[in-house]
Amino acid sequence: MVDIKKKKKGRSNEQNSRLFGYLYPSLSKHFGYDVDTLHNLLRFKFLKTEKIVNYQSMSTVRSTTELTVQEMNDYMAQIEAWAIDMGWNPD
């Protein structure tokens, strides 16, 4: 038996542009980290998952390129809520 599943649509170009063109640069300026470092820190905070390998739990971090449109919306919303709690003011 073969399962055929519809491929989920990945993040949009507009979402990627907003993340790297507005959100990360604004947060970078506020927190004092370069965009690449901030990207990796926030991925670790919000996109970390646990996988079981040979009965051991291992942490992995998803890439934003793997996210669906909805997952990317959720990711950016989580970042914004966290950043506001940390004193960031959206421009």
- Residue 85 burial by Cβ neighbours in a 10 Å radius (0-12, 13-18, 19+): exposed
The pLDDT of residue 90: 87
The CA distance from 29 to 88, in Å, is: 10
Please name the residues in contact with 67: beta carbons below 8 A apart, sequence gap of 6 or more: 10, 11, 47, 75
Per-residue pLDDT of the chain (91 residues; tens, 9 = 90+): 666 666 667 888 899 999 999 999 999 999 999 999 999 999 999 999 998 889 999 999 999 999 999 999 999 999 999 999 999 998 7
The CA distance from 91 to 88, in Å, is: 9
The pLDDT of residue 83: 97
Question: Which pTM was predicted?
Answer: 0.83
Bridge partner list, 48: 61
